[in-house]
Amino acid sequence: MRFDPVDLPPAALEFLTVRHLATLTTLRPDGSPHVTPVGFTWDADAGLARVICSGPSRKARNAAVTKRAALCQVDGGYWLTLEGAVEVVSDPARVADAERRYAARYRQPRENPLRVVLEITVTTVLGRI
């Protein structure tokens, strides 16, 4: 089922707050998919999914080039995929905000002076809730 990212149903919003990991899919330079498990946060007000990672990581390098990403969270038969344009952000204030949000959903992230945040402006939400 397709959902409007700016008006997700309550069940979808709740699902996006439960402590689950997701898979992040970006594209390598040769076009093949790169899929990794990640923690992420959903900001309904901004329509942004955020993933913190190291700047030199493959996912960050892929995102910087292809500018597209998809996150998929699964729990049994329930799932949501968030797709959209991705930006690699190194601004310290925005990285700190993403770290704070991550800590609220998962745990305090370890120190990483090379940390960036992948901000996905979600345009498509698919799922079964």
Cα separation, 110 vs 99, in Å, equals 10
Report how far apart, in Å, the C-alpha atoms of 68 and of each of 3, 16, 76, 114, 123 are: 19, 20, 26, 21, 11
Domain architecture of the chain: domains with CATH? 2-128 (2.30.110.10)
pLDDT at 105: 96
> pTM score, two decimals?
0.95
Nearest to 75 by CA among 3, 5, 21: 21
Cα separation, 108 vs 83, in Å, equals 26
pLDDT string in tens for the chain (129-residue length) = 999 998 999 999 999 999 999 999 999 999 999 999 999 999 999 999 999 999 999 999 999 999 999 999 999 999 999 999 999 999 999 999 999 999 999 999 999 999 999 999 999 999 999
